[in-house]
Amino acid sequence: MLVVLLDSYHLGDPLFIPQLARDVAARKAGAVFVHGSGEAGERVLESRGLVPEAVAGVWAVSTPEEAAEVERATRDLNRRIVHEMNEAGTPAVRVMAADRGLARRDADGTIRAGRTAWLATLAAQGGVAVVAALVAGDGSARVEADAAAVAVAIAEALGADGVALVGTGRVAALADATAPVPLADAQAAGALADAGLAARTVALSTVPVRLVSAASLRSQSPPDGPMLTA
């Protein structure tokens, strides 16, 4: 089971999503991709004259209207990723973390996985789920959650081998690492696209967090790359 956490750095690159779609199509196997609002959420808040601040991977909002704007931006990003994958020939489906009880946020803010059997079945049949990190809010609203927490919760519930993070082009410099690579060393090598996201994922996860190249997602085998440690 492949669970990939997509960061805002890559999702903000207009060339990344089309290439990702082609890589996933070449892989011809099921997978789960998780993402937050990224730069799309930042831009929509800036358009309201705000100076966005991210707290634990989530854009801080102070009104229901701002939360709705971030939700809309996240849904639009999710739609765009799935569209590109379908155009490339991958049977991808849109999923919100709140759908079918997939994930929930406890009163203390902890993200927990719920019913994941349907997601496992989808991936086993060769489908690709693109999960937006939107959990239940007040009423029918969906609010942004930390994509790292959502990806970890889903990976643990699915019994995945770990969570894959796409690194920069410099991840190749760490390819020969046989022991886990400390986050500080990966950052010093310039291999982390989003150091904060990587640190949160490692801190939250009880499954391995692996830094991989985008090209490795083409392989039907689990992407190869160094494990990250705190």
Average pLDDT over residues 164-173: 91
Position 212 scores a pLDDT of: 93
Q: What is the pLDDT of residue 132?
A: 97
Token pair 């937050």: residue: 36
pLDDT tens track for 17-54: 999 999 999 988 999 999 999 999 999 999 989 999 98
pLDDT at 139 over 80: no
Q: State pTM to two decimals.
A: 0.94
19: its two tokens: 């290439």
